Amino acid sequence: MNLYLVKRILALIPVLFVVSVVIFLIIHITPGDPASVILGESATAQDVEALRQQLGLDLPIYQQYMNWITDVLRGDLGESYFMKESVSEAIFSHLQPTLSLAILAQIIALLIAIPLGITAALRRGTAADQTVMGFSLLGMAIPSFLLALFLILLVGVKLQWLPVAGYKPLEAGLWNHLKYLILPAVSLGAIQSALITRMTRSSMLEVLNMNYMKAARSKGVKERQLIYKHALRNAFLPILTVIGQTFGGLVTGAVVTETIFNIPGIGQLIINSVERRDYEVIQGVVLFVTCVYVFINLIVDILYGVIDPRVRLERK
């Protein structure tokens, strides 16, 4: 394989190591622990202490870390304190809904954002531009829960077109699967599109005045092609970057949306395991999320070079 790729993949190791240490520290600084959560609302400090001992949570922190990391190196991410499944199973089972949702939301966001951003850039200063920018401002400033609730009330409750919340896996049939995802995907997509729209507009503005646009126009390239092919590709690096970021954000936890729509995804897993102090799961998920980001950013970086051949990420 290529040296650059190898280097990037090897770089994952120190990143994971550092992240795991940091997370471990953070988790253990944070008050509350799984014992107190298991025991419920009215447990006493003594009860909690007893359970802590039984669970091995009273060991010195470096020892706990060593125990954990040796397991991880053996490929075992550990067991949840709460779920009857291993951490890797938990991640896997929560990944499916999140992936479906993320992909759908991303598609929606792009379908909204790219054309709108381009329109705004082309019609800069006109009413169309201002309308588009107005909407994207709404998207930026409105908390996602408001849009989600609005959609639920309108489409789910008033019109009763789609279920308000919940999730069905793909095995339940495509439509059954999608039906639950459309609303959350739309609400996420719409919000995410705000940033992409603005980024598209401003990056497009940077390139529209370039000479090569003039030259392409002089060849008789149709306006659409001119924009979508010649300009967009040149303007695409920052756009791609935010797409990568939003996608990363979607895959690793659209917490609010998942909560409102009751989607048992990675976001829920993260927030719930933080709320339950499910240490092993938190650690596992964070490692997983790190891999996701490293991977997405790797792809984005490779795409940089494909999109713009001038970009070089390594020395020759």
Partner 1 sequence: MSHEALETRKPLLDVRGLKKYFPVKGPLGTLGGVKGYVKAVNDVSFQLHAGETLGIVGESGCGKSTMGRTILRLTDPTAGQALYGDQDIFQLSGKELQKIRRDMQMVFQDPFSSLNPRKRIGQILEEPLAIHSIGDPKERTERVMEMMHKVGLQVDHYFRYPHEFSGGQRQRIGLARALVVNPQIVISDEPVSALDVSIQSQIINLLQELQAEYRLTYLFIAHDISVVRHISDRIGVMYLGQMVEQAPTESLFANPLHPYTQALLSAVPIPNPQRKKERIILRGEIPSPMNPPSGCIFHTRCPLAMDVCKQEVPPQLEAAPQHMVSCHFYTKP
Partner 2 sequence: MDALGSNAKRLELSQVKQTLKKEQRRLQLRRFLSNKLMLTGSIIIVLITAFALVGPYLVSYDPYEMDPVKRLQPPGAEHLLGTDNFGRDLLTRIVYGARVSIGVGFSVALISAAAGMVIGLYSGYYRALDQVLMRICDGLMAIPGILLAIALVAALGPMTENVIIALGIVFIPYVARIVRSATLVVREETYIEAMKAQGASAARIIWMHIAPNTLSPLVVQATFIFADAIITEAALSFLGAGVPTPDPSWGNILYDGKLVIFKAWWMTVFPGILIILTVMGLNFAGDGIRDMVDPHSSLSFKRKKKK
Partner 3 sequence: MTKPPLLEVNELKVHFYTERGRITAVDGISFHVNAGEIVGVVGESGCGKSVTSQAILRLLDEKDTVEYDGKILFEGTDLLQLPEAGMQKIRGNEISMIFQDPLSSLNPVFSIGSQIAESLMLHQQISKKAAFEKAIELLRMTGIPAPEKRVHEYPHQLSGGMRQRAMIAMTLACQPKLLIADEPTTALDVTIQAQILDLMLELNREQGMGMIFITHDLGVVAELCSRVVVMYLGQIVEEADVETLFAQPRHPYTKGLMKSIPQMDSDRSQKLHVIEGMVPTLDNIPTGCRFAPRCPYADYMCHERPPAYEEHAAGHKVRCWHAEKIAQEEEERSYVS
Residues that bind partner 2 (CB under 8 A): 7, 11, 14-15, 18-19, 22-23, 26-27, 29-31, 124-125, 133, 137-138, 140-143, 145-146, 149, 194-195, 198-199, 202-203, 205-206, 209, 237-238, 240-242, 244-245, 248, 252-253, 255-256, 270-271, 274, 282, 286, 289-290, 292-294, 297, 304, 308, 310-315
Provide, rounded to whole angstroms, the least separation between the CB of residue 316 and partner 1: 6
* 227 neighbors 210 (Cβ within 8 angstroms): no
Rounded Cα gap, residues 316 and 4, in angstroms: 11
Q: How far is the CB of 245 from partner 2 (least distance, A)?
A: 6
- With CB under 5 to 8 Å by kind, the binding choice for 218 among partner 1, partner 3, partner 2, none is partner 3
Our finding on whether 107 is near partner 3 (CB under 8 A) is no
Type of residue found at 245: Q
- Interface mask toward partner 3 for 210-239; x: CB under 8 A: xxx-xxxxxxxxxx------x--xx-----
Indicate the residue among 247 and 304 with the shorter CB distance to partner 1. Answer: 304
CB atoms within 10 A of CB 217: 13
From the list 24-32, 196-204, 232-240, 300-308, the region that binds partner 1 by CB under 8 A is: 300-308
Closest CB to partner 2 among 100 and 200?
200
Nearer to partner 1 among residue 2 and residue 42 (C-beta): 2
Query: DSSP secondary structure string, 235-269?
Result: HHHHHHHHHHHHHHHHHTT-HHHHHHTT--SHHHH
Q: Select the residue interacting with partner 1 from 211, 219, 220, 224 (CB under 8 A).
A: 211
Please give the angle made by the CA atoms of 168, 170 and 174, to the nearest 5 degrees.
100
Helix (H, G, I), strand (E, B) or coil at 229: helix
How far, in whole angstroms, is CA 82 from its chain's centroid?
25
What is the CB neighbour count within 10 angstroms for residue 50?
15
**How many residues lie near partner 1 (CB under 8 A)?**
14
The residues with which 175 forms a beta bridge, in sequence order, are none
Cα separation of 170 and 154, whole Å? 25
Q: What is the DSSP letter of 311?
A: -
Give the integer Cα–Cα distance in Å for 149 and 143: 10
Residues in contact with partner 3 by the rule CB under 8 A: 209-212, 214-223, 230, 233-234, 307-310
Please report, as ranges, the residues that interact with partner 1 according to CB under 8 A.
2, 4-5, 209, 211, 302, 305-306, 309, 311-314, 316
